[in-house]
Amino acid sequence: MRIAVIGYGAIGRFLISQLNSEPEIETCAVLSLPRADICSKPVVDDIEGLLSARPDLVVECAGHGALRTFGETVLRRGTDLLVVSVGALADPELEAALRSASSSGGGKLLIPGGALGGIDALSTAREAGLSSVEYTGRKAPAAWKGTAAEKIVQLDRVTEPHTIIDCEARTAALIFPQNANVVAAIALAGLGFDKTRVRLIVDPNAEGNLHSYVARGEFGEISTTIRSKTLEANPKTSVLAPFSLVQTIKKRSGLIPA
């Protein structure tokens, strides 16, 4: 199986390093801007160069802007696209454009489970009768630096848990694109962006990133909580997030059961 990666930041580097030991999976190209001279894989600086490598799957690891810039092209060319920046789909115009490109071109838009478990159960609950979904994300101050949280609370002076925002998922994902990809994954699996409730918390005592949600409906109730260590190169990202990409790719390559 041939994969191409958009982005050579913390997640892109981690993903490539994890797949290096899998001979059945070849990283045939990496799109990096600026060009990553230290990358051991073939590096290109435009989407045409990436697609000319004939990947079976393109993995977006470069942020919301990259998904907006390159996503439609990949899908219209009939190539499947695995998306890290799921939060970008909170923009209804972008979501519609990507779904249209997928429909017309044949490429599939793939959403990983990310740092949260129970996504399959949530999707099943939606079919069985889902009435409410409430998500809470709790992270240490360092994970909120460089985000809109800095305008809401003085991160260096937080001494107890503080709720940054309490709103529906669409607003949370758009305001906190670096922290709320898991919010978007929950929304897409469940009731959608406008009916999923989200609370984001800065907690000076947090050890890793804490993700939890409660879903209720005619089926009963689902309650899931995961405390994940953060990626060393980026405290905003849970370690489980890039590993969910690895798992998805291995499933598609047949290395593990789907």
Task: Please identify every residue annotated as catalytic.
Answer: 211
For the CA atoms of 175, 178, 183, 185, what is the dihedral angle to 10 degrees?
130
149/127 Cα distance (integer angstroms): 35
CA distances from 50 to 54, 74, 85, 229 (A): 8, 9, 19, 32
Alpha helices in the chain (DSSP H): 10-19, 47-51, 64-76, 92-105, 119-129, 141-144, 169-175, 181-189, 240-253
Task: Note whether 192 and 123 are within 8 A (CB).
Answer: no
Q: 20 is written with which tokens?
A: 């290096």
Tell how strand 220-228 and strand 230-231 pair up: unpaired
> Who contacts 27 (Cβ-Cβ below 8 Å, separation ≥6)?
3, 4, 5, 16, 19, 20, 41
Kindly state the DSSP code that residue 5 receives in the 8-state scheme.
E
Which of 205, 250, 210, 257 shows the shortest CA–CA distance to 229? 210
